[in-house]
Amino acid sequence: MSENRILGLDFGSKTCGVAISDPLLLTAQGLEIIRREKPGKLRTTLARIKELCDEYQVEKIVLGNPKNMNNTEGDRVEKTLAFKEEVEKRTGLPVVLVDERLTTVMADNTMMELGIRRENRKEYVDEIAAMFILQSYLDARANGQV
């Protein structure tokens, strides 16, 4: 089995939720949320992603693709595609887009079930959404769908 891992990212306008797979590529664990002051200031975010890739011996990155519910692509998809290019350039790793529709809803529902107060959920939602994005990819991979 490979010792390399897969990194999951939930890219937002001011945050980037990060999750990591276990070495067997079966489960996703939340890692952190990278925060930035301004939407366009990505240098620190990209540097942190590179550090995490090196630290965890990442072989691939999965990035949530924020399509609209009707499967159309809006402004967020354009920003995500530009971010994907930057991440690939910075890390030298392949970045795979994964449909992220409903991951924020699932993350919110999970936190509700865990009893996390509504005012505290915003603090964790991106990291948990990154876990769902990564887990959906790992499950599809295990089932031979990717």
As a whole number, the mean pLDDT across the chain is 89
pTM of the predicted protein model: 0.88
Encoded amino acid at 33, one letter: I
Q: What is the structure's pLDDT at 3? A: 67
Enumerate domains of the chain plus CATH numbers: 5-142 (3.30.420.140)
Give the pLDDT confidence of 63-93 residue by residue, as tens digits.
Answer: 999 876 777 777 888 999 999 999 999 999 9
CA-nearest of 123, 94, 102, 97 to 11 is 97
Q: What is the structure's pLDDT at 1? A: 43
Q: What is the structure's pLDDT at 102? A: 66
Residues above pLDDT 70, as percent of the chain: 96
d(CA 42, CA 39): 8
Pairing of strands 15-21, 95-99: unpaired
